[in-house]
Amino acid sequence: MSYPVRNIILVALAIILFPVGLWGQLSYSDGHPNQLVRGKDLYEKERYVAAQQVFEQILSDPQATHQQKTEAAFYSFLCSSQLYHKDAKIKGLNFLSQYPESPLTNIVLFQLAHNEYVNKNYKNAVAYYQQVEAKNLNDDEKSELHFKLGYSWLMLDSLDRARIEFYEIKDIDNPFSSAALYYYSYIAFMQKNYVTALEGFLRLKDDETFAQVVPYYIVQCYYYLGKDDDLLAYAVPIIDSVIPSREAEIAYLIGNAYYRKNKYKEAIPYYERYLSREKKPDRYSYYQPAYCYYQTGDYAKAIPLFEKVAADNSLIGQNASYHLGYCYLRDNAKDKAMLAFSAAAQADFDLNIQEDAAFNYAVLTLELANTPFNNAIKALSDYVTRYPQSRRREEAYQYLITACLNTHNYQEALNYLNKIQNKDAKTRKAYQRAAFFRALELFNNLDLDNAAKQLELAQRYSSSDPVIAARTQYWQSEIHYRNKEFDEALEGYLQFYDTPAARQTPEFAVVPYNIAYCYFHKKNYSQSLQWFQRFTDKPADNDRLVADSYNRMGDCYFASAKYKEAISAYSQAIRKGAADKDYAMFQRAFATGLLGDHKQKITLLNELIRTSPNSVYYDDALYEIGQSYLALQNSGEAQKYYRQIISKFPLSSYVKKSWLQLGLIDYNSNQYDSAIVKYKKVIADYPNTPEARSALNGIRNIYVELNQVDEFLKLSGSLGGSGIGQAEQDSLLYYSAENLYTKQKWTKAIEGLKKYLQTFPSGNFVANAHFYLADCYLRTNMPAEALEHLNSVIGMPRNSFTEMALVAAAQLNLEKKDYYAAVANCEFLDSIAEVAENRLVARQGKAIGYYQLKRYHEAIDAAQYLLNTPGIAQETERVARYVLAKSYLTLGEDSKAMEQLRRLARDVKNKEGAEAKYLIAESYFKQNQPDKAMKEIFNFVDLNTPHQYWVAKAYILLAKIYYQKNNAFQAIKTLESIINNYDVTDDGIIDEAKQLKATYEDRSKTTNNKSISLSETN
């Protein structure tokens, strides 16, 4: 322990100012004897002001002799010195210059030096002392000279020069010997010459002046000389009697002496005494008491002391982190132990500690589920790589394989498994598993292309685990199915079904359902029916799929004209509570009509209208009721239902059909004028549609019956593309282009369709051409061109392509973040959609669009409407709840937001669930409920989400909580874990963690006033 020279307490000394013996050698002059005698008498009586007046009179007297003036100047200087006048130095210097031959110059120099010394002008004091002729001084004066010169050198930090002066007088009897010995010993101490220092301090231990000071130095000398027994023998008895300012330091050294003798229990009371009395202990002084507590098993007391040292980037800090890890383990705080071992493993001051800490850290990351960023695999892989010769290498390698098999962060597992060049059986099995489950994660997030690539990787090691191999084949088929590649999907499903290992998979129960759907899409209804029947005979535990299967069975029977069987199947679907129950009701009624029972059909359709007023089949039902009344020759009732469609559903595709039927009723009733009006409305409002062509035929029939063919030809000529003049050329050119489209020759189809539109801009197939052009452009990755033609379709009167065009346009606008256009598409789509799936697309698009446009109230309405739609898929429900949660949060409706966030957070394998789990924890933190926030964070990490961004955000939040709880060490180590292990460098996570870490470190810095040698650590 070191102390600056200027902080030494100078002991009060009896200083001889004016050596009487030297002055006694002076002789009085003969001139002005009375004046000089009087002045000296006043001086000796310490009446310095009066004396100086006398001496100044002599100096101003022109009659005074040189000798008289010499003595007067000398005494005037002494008076100024005694009076501490500022002119003393000037008088002294003037004397030296005016009377250089005087024997009094030595005394003047001595006094000038003393004046500077008293005023602490040590540099000037040294200069004058060095000019004094020591041979003209007596012994006491010489001692004074050596002491004050030595002390001046000491104050100037010139220890070697000071030591020489003190050495001259420390061992001889004089007024300054004790002080000289003290400072001589002190200089030896400062220069680490502890033997010499100890010898001197021991001589002073009974000195009246220094007895209270030297014990501290004696203890330190024993300490630095390693004489722990002598230290204890000397210090323990006196600890209660030392001056209070030294008690803490001596207690600390006693503790250290016991510590070095491995007597940890004996050391503890003295360390406790030190810590209780030292106002500002530096961080290093916590290490030894912490280690003593550790060795005696008092881990609860060791932990907070180790934590104060562990953050230091030093050997002591590494040791503290290492032992802190073991303390946490004994305290069953494995998560904190992991961070402590991580800190010790990152330091390289002690390589043995580093290796052992690295292994402990790696094993703990495996044992703990709540380690971020797949640390177990990274830590174990790093250990195996860094310590290839370690005796634990094989053990670590086995742990690594286990980590890969058990992990849920499959992408990271693959990253590290790819680094293993020679994969043995266990490694190949781990690779197969990781690739397969990574594919499922990607599939769950609708990233089908990358999911397929991961399944291909899993397939490389299909022999490792037959069950995983079978599941891989199933999900490859599932991706083909989602991509509408039904032949490939069917082939894969059938192979999976015939694989023995498939029976051990959770997918086996549902694969007949998927096979049935493949056949259904291929219009192989007999095979589809067989597989749906097989599924319903042994259904999976999924009522929704069973009910849907009966619907499709009904469709298969319907397509095969087996209407009774179809009715039975649809009835089963209704009883099973099918999500699209209204579809089953409509189809059942329709099939009943095809069997000729129109009255029952009408009854069933009215039941649909009554029970499902919001059904997408409402307008279909009205139209078919009208058709059935026509079949029953009740045209009056039929007209009512057609007109209901026109009034209630003005955007329905059945409006033009209803006008056409109303015109037909008028025609059959010979109400030709009324029929012509209705037919002309269809032609005018819905040009270039099949209904317009039917209406034109109806008008032709009327004019033929009326024998007014000229009128018809005149009307036909005015209709342009809807007329008969160019119909054949129109059809020929269109069907030629359509043929290229159906053959998937997209580029040539584009040319043909564009040519058709240029030739017949108002042709009969304009809507078809625009829609197929859009599809061609989409398939050739030209979305902007596709959107242009989709908008053309949307801008036309309602036609058979309007609904599909709106679906495609909405998706394109969402992808290019044109949310205004997307919302407009979706609003229109929602108002006209006749296909249930398209209505879901519309409502989901509205929810997303309004949220992105920051129209949160409308987003909430849209999302609620979406949630209330029957039969929505899980991913659709997820989007709706996400929009609700984020909108409520933005609007400050936290309780409503939390309700949705908790629903989302049930599944953190998707990104919405992961973000929701984080937002719940953040909400608790903002509400000043840190314990609840921590619980949410640890639970979140336990769930092993693949979405590492939100895991990292959760750990940053955890660091804030630790810091708020005054645990800076855990906060900083948590942030370091993010910085060292998070892989993405450009999403802001690492920058945020670094910035927060720097802030916490700046706040935690303390000034270190003490130091411990590295050899003192264990």
d(CA 70, CA 99): 7
Local confidence band at 823 (pLDDT 50, 70, 90 cut-offs): very high
Closest Cα to residue 183, out of 3, 1, 2, 5? 5
Looking at the structure, tell me whether residues 715 and 747 fall in a common domain: no
Please check whether residue 345 is in contact with residue 358, taking contact to mean a CB–CB distance below 8 angstroms: yes
915 located within any domain: yes
d(CA 879, CA 872): 11
Residue where a domain terminates, one of 875, 900, 924:
924
Please check whether residue 783 is in contact with residue 816, taking contact to mean a CB–CB distance below 8 angstroms: yes
Put residue 871 in one of left, alpha, beta given phi > 0 → left and psi -120 to 50 → alpha.
left
**CATH, residue 834:** 1.25.40.10
Local confidence band at 411 (pLDDT 50, 70, 90 cut-offs): confident
d(CA 288, CA 1010): 13
Question: What's phi and psi for 816, nearest 5 deg?
Answer: -95, 10
Domain that holds residue 472: 410-505
Residue where a domain terminates, one of 924, 950, 971:
924
Looking at the structure, tell me whether residues 682 and 773 fall in a common domain: no
pLDDT for 2 equals: 35
- pLDDT digit string, tens, across residues 876-934: 999 999 999 999 999 999 999 999 999 999 999 889 999 999 999 999 999 999 999 99
Local confidence band at 544 (pLDDT 50, 70, 90 cut-offs): confident
Q: Does residue 721 register a pLDDT over 50?
A: no
Number of structural domains in the chain: 3
Q: Does residue 21 register a pLDDT over 80?
A: no
Closest Cα to residue 184, out of 206, 214, 141? 214
> Exposed, middle or buried by CB within 10 Å (0-12, 13-18, 19+), for 240?
exposed
Residue where a domain terminates, one of 703, 722, 741:
722
Q: Token pair of 673, please?
A: 């004028």
pLDDT for 374 equals: 63
- pLDDT digit string, tens, across residues 794-818: 999 888 899 999 999 999 999 999 9
- Average pLDDT of the chain, as a whole number: 88
Please check whether residue 938 is in contact with residue 370, taking contact to mean a CB–CB distance below 8 angstroms: yes
Looking at the structure, tell me whether residues 738 and 861 fall in a common domain: yes
Average pLDDT over residues 405-422: 77
pLDDT for 396 equals: 84
Average pLDDT over residues 343-370: 89
644 located within any domain: no
819 located within any domain: yes
Looking at the structure, tell me whether residues 738 and 819 fall in a common domain: yes
Average pLDDT over residues 968-979: 88
- pLDDT digit string, tens, across residues 56-89: 999 999 999 999 999 999 999 999 999 999 999 9
Looking at the structure, tell me whether residues 803 and 673 fall in a common domain: no
The pTM assigned to this predicted structure is 0.59
Please check whether residue 231 is in contact with residue 257, taking contact to mean a CB–CB distance below 8 angstroms: yes
d(CA 419, CA 431): 11
7 located within any domain: no
Local confidence band at 538 (pLDDT 50, 70, 90 cut-offs): confident
Cβ neighbour number for residue 502 with a 10 Å cutoff: 20
Lowest-confidence region among 199-208, 386-395, 634-643, 904-913: 386-395
Looking at the structure, tell me whether residues 750 and 705 fall in a common domain: no
Looking at the structure, tell me whether residues 774 and 868 fall in a common domain: yes
Looking at the structure, tell me whether residues 792 and 850 fall in a common domain: yes
pLDDT for 266 equals: 97
d(CA 632, CA 600): 12
Angle at 586 between CA 585 and CA 592, to 5 degrees: 90
Angle, to 10 degrees, between the axis of helix 410-417 and the axis of helix 375-386? 20
**CATH, residue 448:** 1.25.40
Average pLDDT over residues 163-170: 95
Lowest-confidence region among 657-661, 764-768, 876-880, 981-985: 981-985
Looking at the structure, tell me whether residues 855 and 761 fall in a common domain: yes
pLDDT for 684 equals: 87
- pLDDT digit string, tens, across residues 673-703: 999 999 999 988 888 788 888 998 899 888 8
Looking at the structure, tell me whether residues 806 and 680 fall in a common domain: no
799 located within any domain: yes
- pLDDT digit string, tens, across residues 496-536: 999 999 999 999 999 999 999 999 999 999 999 999 999 99
Q: Token pair of 323, please?
A: 């032992």
Please check whether residue 672 is in contact with residue 706, taking contact to mean a CB–CB distance below 8 angstroms: yes
Looking at the structure, tell me whether residues 685 and 737 fall in a common domain: no
> Between these two residues, 401 and 867, which has the higher pLDDT value?
867
Average pLDDT over residues 320-341: 93
143 located within any domain: no
742 located within any domain: yes
Local confidence band at 947 (pLDDT 50, 70, 90 cut-offs): confident
Average pLDDT over residues 334-352: 92
pLDDT for 279 equals: 84
Looking at the structure, tell me whether residues 659 and 775 fall in a common domain: no
690 located within any domain: yes
